[in-house]
Amino acid sequence: MPTLLPSPSLSINKEPKGVQNSLIFDASFLQNETSIPQQFVWPEEEKPRLETPLPQLYVPPVDLKGFFTGEPAAVSHAAQVVDSACRKHGFFQVINHGVDSRLIKEAHKIMDLFFGMPLCEKQRAQRKVGEYCGYASSFTGRFSSKLPWKETLSFRYSTDPQCTNLVQDYFLNVMGEDFSHFGRVCQEYCEAMSKLSLGIMELLGVSLGIGRSHFRDFYEEHDSIMRLNYYPPCQKPDQTLGTGPHCDPTSLTILHQDNIGGLEVFVDEKWHSIAPCSEAFVINIGDTFMALSNGLYKSCLHRAVVNNHTPRKSLAFFLSPKMNKVVCPPKALVEDMNQRIYPDFTWARFLEFTQKHYRADMDTFEAFAKWIQMQNDRK
């Protein structure tokens, strides 16, 4: 096994005496390393099997144009396709979604610029401990393990009237004037995602038989997260993962992946790949919407693999309700045959829980319920 030696890729922070030295992921160097640090090597049973191509998951493309215009046959077809995909695994794709392809291309372009900068430049937006916004790459201590082979840049998008230029202002504050174009593109992209997510909420309302407005109204005000994922090449792609297996705790994810491929979904006890399609967004249901649909729609385990030749990019918009909104399924989805399975909760509480305790191999809501109980007992 390679030893973790100080190198240009792994800048050593000299911590105060008694605190473990830490090492930071610098893609510009690490992508050429043939022996990858132990912290990035995943256990045998979780490593991706790259020698044989995975079966492809059929993720039905849903044509949103007809749905948005309200053409009855198109509405009923879209609802039926979404319903069957969401009951099985929660993944589908949308095409003719109304998001300008020039905006998507521009977003990919500025990602290349950002992640292509030297590490010290990117670190101007460094994520602070306990926060979810900012630039993050793996931070390795001696005992860290199963680290993802990627860099990310995350920021908040909110519909709060006080936050009209939240994204743009964020970049202006942390990166300065030179990043005003970058901030504008990210702001515009989030606005497009916000609009699209509300359209998809209408579709989910129709597919669940409760009408267009219920979920749209629920999410009309939202407090969401945008994350740019950048996966540098890795010389040992069969030993590591770009994003480890996880379910999204949020409500709905809208993902745009470039044409490299790497997204995989765990369905019927097997990993399946999702072929990239630049005209489509991949949509998946998150844990919060699974609870809101009273378990009818599934939030499914997924991950991303890396390769040894080309960087891969994806843009993920995670729709979430306002922090204090109580997540409770509509009465029409609760009946004798389909009793309540999840407790009422606010997104703020669930977010806190997932940030502190999330593990891919646990039953999230069982653990969440125990955590709430424990906190109540302490009062």
Ligand X SMILES: O=C(O)CCC(=O)C(=O)O
Active site residues: 312
Q: For ligand X, which stretch binds (CB under 6 A), given 33-41, 49-57, 257-265, 341-349?
A: 257-265
Q: Are 125 and 91 spatial neighbours (Cβ–Cβ below 8 Å)?
A: no
Q: For ligand X, which stretch binds (CB under 6 A), given 124-132, 256-264, 323-331, 366-374?
A: 256-264
CA dist 125 → 1, 137, 155, 376 (Å): 33, 11, 10, 37
Q: For ligand X, which stretch binds (CB under 6 A), given 22-30, 121-129, 255-263, 368-376?
A: 255-263
Least separation in angstroms between residue 257's CB and ligand X is 5
Take residue 341 and report the two structure tokens written for it.
């399975």
User: Does 302 sit near ligand X (CB under 6 A)?
Assistant: yes
Give the amino acid at 305.
Answer: V
With CB under 6 A as the contact rule, the residue among 194, 243, 294, 364 that binds ligand X is 243
Q: For ligand X, which stretch binds (CB under 6 A), given 11-19, 70-78, 254-262, 285-293?
A: 254-262
User: Does 93 sit near ligand X (CB under 6 A)?
Assistant: no
CA atoms 168, 322, 87, 212: torsion sign: negative
Q: Closer CB to ligand X, residue 153 or residue 292?
A: 153
Q: Among the residues of 6-100, which ranges form H helices?
A: 27-30, 64-69, 72-88
- Which residues in the 210-229 window bind ligand X by CB under 6 A? 227, 229
| Cα distance between residue 224 and residue 246, in whole Å | 18
With CB under 6 A as the contact rule, the residue among 316, 319, 327, 333 that binds ligand X is 316
Nearest to residue 225, comparing CAs of 63, 347, 339, 368? 347
Residues in a beta bridge with 296? none
Per-residue mark of binding to ligand X, 183-202 (x: CB under 6 A): --------------------
Which residues of 14-68 form beta strands (DSSP E)? 22-25, 61-63
Q: Closer CB to ligand X, residue 106 or residue 248?
A: 248
Least separation in angstroms between residue 51's CB and ligand X is 21
Q: Are 244 and 231 spatial neighbours (Cβ–Cβ below 8 Å)?
A: no
Neighbouring C-beta atoms of residue 27, cutoff 10 Å: 22
Number of residues this chain uses to bind ligand X (CB under 6 A) = 12
User: Does 288 sit near ligand X (CB under 6 A)?
Assistant: no
Q: Closer CB to ligand X, residue 31 or residue 314?
A: 314
Q: Angle 298-302-303 (CA atoms, 0-180°, nearest 5)?
A: 170
User: Does 137 sit near ligand X (CB under 6 A)?
Assistant: no
Q: What is the Cα gyration radius of the chain?
A: 21
Q: Closer CB to ligand X, residue 125 or residue 304?
A: 304
With CB under 6 A as the contact rule, the residue among 154, 314, 354, 364 that binds ligand X is 314
Least separation in angstroms between residue 339's CB and ligand X is 31
Q: Closer CB to ligand X, residue 66 or residue 244?
A: 244
User: Does 263 sit near ligand X (CB under 6 A)?
Assistant: yes
Q: Closer CB to ligand X, residue 78 or residue 306?
A: 306
Q: Among the residues of the chain, which ranges form H helices?
A: 27-30, 64-69, 72-88, 101-115, 119-122, 166-175, 180-207, 213-219, 287-292, 347-357, 364-378
| Cα distance between residue 313 and residue 113, in whole Å | 12
Q: Closer CB to ligand X, residue 85 or residue 241?
A: 241
What residues line the site for ligand X (CB under 6 A)?
A: 227, 229, 243, 248, 255, 257, 262-263, 302, 304, 314, 316
